[in-house]
């Protein structure tokens, strides 16, 4: 009788058909960033996948957990950039651990508080950011594909209602009445190059009429409202500004065919429905839109 434990996963399947993605999802892991005594811990949920060749019956699931344990135990995570690097390393180690696969993919989701300061209003705020990242690596290629997504809330002031009210009231005040709403802004950037998520967050917060804040005393509340009314925007305006700001920030960081996708849901205050805006472009397409002539070379 053989003393070796049977390796059923490596046996031949009944039907020799490859499977594009096999893995585990929803693995909970608490990940801490920062130095000792000054740590911020994130509750994360992680998905890990590999492709399965036609002559392999199954994957070795325990190897996924081994890679997860080893990766986060080895890397010291000082900030969000290190966190992104750890996710990339996790996908590489997942590929190396499964020597019979050609590709590996890691997905992670979490919520963290971003330390935001509005100098004009003198407001400090820990803004909750919904963050997700996908890191894909292929054994046949030397590059990695990264996809970073964030979702953040802000406020919009309707410019149409404001101008109509100004006309009907015969007022030239920029603070004429209008309806306001919270807007959910989700932005995803896909690139083969490293992207600092803080650049995406800063651009997103600047896209609204005004960001939203949890803690406001009465005087600051008034300042926030007035500032928002000085900067009225449609949901479409927020989408275009977010696209432009991220393009401007990352155009020299990412490759021309890197993509940016955007989704805004405006939680309408005076309508029984919500407004939705969606768009997706390559960076070189935005470059062409903003150029003096179509087809201008990527610079």
Q: How far is C-alpha 132 from the geometric centre of its chain's CA atoms?
A: 5
| Domains: count for the chain | 2
Whole-model pTM: value is 0.87
Domain that holds residue 213: 143-299
Q: Does 118 fall in a domain?
A: no
HSE-CB of 279 using CA atoms within 13 angstroms: 18
- On whether both 159 and 290 belong to a single domain, the answer is yes
Which CATH number goes with the domain that contains 174? Answer: 3.10.270.10
- On whether both 56 and 186 belong to a single domain, the answer is no
- On whether both 74 and 215 belong to a single domain, the answer is no
**Per-residue pLDDT at 298:** 45
- On whether both 172 and 95 belong to a single domain, the answer is no
The Cα-based distances of 272 to 85, 179, 267, 268, 269 in angstroms read 43, 14, 9, 7, 8
Task: State in Å, rounded, how far the first CA of the chain is from the last one.
Answer: 68
- On whether both 166 and 57 belong to a single domain, the answer is no
**Per-residue pLDDT at 84:** 85
Which residues, 6+ apart, have CB-to-CB distance to 74 below 8 Å?
Answer: none
Is residue 9 within 8 Å of residue 58, measured between CB atoms?
yes
Over the stretch 241-290, which tens digit does the pLDDT of each residue have? 999 999 999 999 999 999 999 999 999 999 999 999 999 999 999 999 99
**Per-residue pLDDT at 75:** 58
Over the stretch 86-130, which tens digit does the pLDDT of each residue have? 899 899 999 999 999 999 999 999 999 999 999 889 999 999 999
**Per-residue pLDDT at 86:** 85
């Amino acid at each position: 009788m053989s003393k070796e434990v049977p390796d059923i996963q490596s046996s031949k399947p009944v039907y020799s058909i490859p499977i594009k993605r096999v893995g585990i999802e929803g693995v909970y892991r608490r990940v801490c960033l920062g130095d000792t005594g000054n740590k911020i811990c994130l509750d994360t949920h992680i998905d890990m996948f590999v492709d399965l060749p036609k002559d392999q019956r199954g994957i070795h699931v325990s190897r996924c957990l081994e890679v997860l344990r080893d990766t986060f135990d080895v890397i010291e995570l000082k900030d969000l950039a290190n966190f992104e690097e750890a996710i990339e390393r996790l996908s590489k180690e997942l590929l190396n651990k499964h020597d019979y696969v050609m590709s590996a993919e890691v997905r992670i989701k979490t919520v963290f508080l971003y330390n935001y300061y509005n100098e004009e209003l003198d407001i400090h705020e820990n803004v909750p950011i919904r963050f997700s990242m996908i890191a894909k690596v292929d054994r046949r290629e030397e590059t990695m594909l990264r996809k970073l997504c964030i979702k953040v809330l802000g406020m919009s002031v309707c410019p149409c209602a404001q101008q109509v009210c100004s006309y009907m009231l015969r007022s030239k005040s920029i603070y004429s009445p209008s309806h306001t709403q919270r807007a959910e802004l989700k932005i995803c950037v896909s690139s083969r190059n490293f992207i600092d998520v803080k650049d995406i967050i800063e651009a997103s917060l600047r896209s609204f009429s005004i960001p939203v804040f949890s803690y406001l005393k009465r005087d600051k509340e008034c300042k926030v409202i007035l500032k928002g009314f000085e900067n009225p925007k449609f949901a479409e305006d927020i989408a275009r500004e977010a696209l432009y700001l991220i393009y401007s920030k990352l155009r020299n960081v990412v490759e021309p065919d890197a993509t940016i996708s955007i989704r805004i849901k405006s939680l309408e205050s005076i309508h029984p429905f919500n407004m939705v805006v969606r768009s997706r472009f390559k960076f070189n397409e935005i470059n062409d839109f903003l150029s003096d002539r179509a087809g201008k070379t990527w610079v």
